[in-house]
Amino acid sequence: MITMKDIVREGHPILNHSAKDVSIPPTEQDIETLKKMIQFIKNSQDEKIAEEYELRAGVGLAAPQIGLSKRMIAVHFEDFNNQLYSDGYFNPKIVSHSVEFTYLSSGEGCLSVDREVAGYVPRYARITVSAINLAGEHVKLRLRGYAAIVFQHEIDHLNGVMFYDRINKQEPFLIPEHAKACDVD
Ligand code: 4LI
Ligand code: NI
């Protein structure tokens, strides 16, 4: 099972590199890795398991965060409409996005970043993602709000981009133009 000791922390160069496409159909090993990543995210949200293994809670994980430079992400969360997103994706790609931006009003955290970085992270308010899911199906996801933010955060990891790279250095809490806040809880 994946635990925090497998999670690569900021400063490791793999987090600043673009990850390689996964060959399709994915190998049994890539499928196994992605299943383990989903399970880690689920475990991290389970109070008992998280306490026992000292896991920090997250809703998404990208393969570079476990030291694998491959284009794979795992997510497990419910959005505001109680829609469940719980799957793994190979080669996810943002194929279109809104002009409008959004940002998490509480800021963003990352399992690879052991400190709080304050500020708004501008994200597209709506995106369409094409990917191959864990079941091997070609999928097109239309995402908005929190779901759109989580997928953009994880896809950024595949491109060597950290959330704080997107925070305005001069004015971390500057509200991006054409943006509406995204409140969680
Ligand atoms: C416990 C059990 C307050 C502060 C609110 C916790 C189950 C921050 C938010 C969770 C913040 C669960 C989260 C992300 C933020 C903050 C990620 C708690 C886990 C909230 C997920 C990828 C950014 C995603 C909303 C600096 C590890 N996750 N909170 N950001 N939750 N969680 N991100 N922001 N301020 N990060 O961090 O998985 S996109 Cl589900
Ligand atoms: Ni992250």
SS (H, E, C) 132-177: EECCCCEEEEEEEHHHHHHHHHHHHHHCCCCHHHHCCCCCCCCCCC
> Is pLDDT of 166 > 90?
yes
For the CA of 154, the closest atom of ligand 1 is 22
Give the confidence band of 182 by pLDDT, cuts at 50, 70, 90: very high
> Which of 114, 100, 113, 102 shows the shortest CA–CA distance to 150?
102
Domain 4-181 has CATH 3.90.45.10: yes
26 cis-preceded (ω within 30 degrees of 0): no
What's the confidence (pLDDT) of residue 80?
84
pLDDT(81) > 90: no
Q: Is the pLDDT of residue 136 over 80?
A: yes
Residue 42, φ and ψ in degrees, nearest 5: -60, -50
pLDDT digits (tens, 9 = 90+) for 10-24: 999 999 999 999 999
Residue 113 in contact with residue 164, Cβ under 8 Å?
yes
Q: What is the 27 CA–ligand 1 centroid distance (Å)? A: 31
Nearest CA to ligand 1 atom 39: 150
Q: For residues 33 and 72, is the Cβ–Cβ distance under 8 A? A: yes
**Residue of the nearest CA to atom 6 in ligand 1?**
57
Does the C-beta of 109 come closer than 6 Å to ligand 1?
yes
User: Binning pLDDT at 50, 70 and 90, where does residue 94 land?
Assistant: very high
CA distance 150 to 73: 11
Question: Domain-by-domain residue ranges, the chain?
Answer: 4-181
Residues with a known catalytic role: 154
Cβ atoms within 10 Å, residue 51:
9
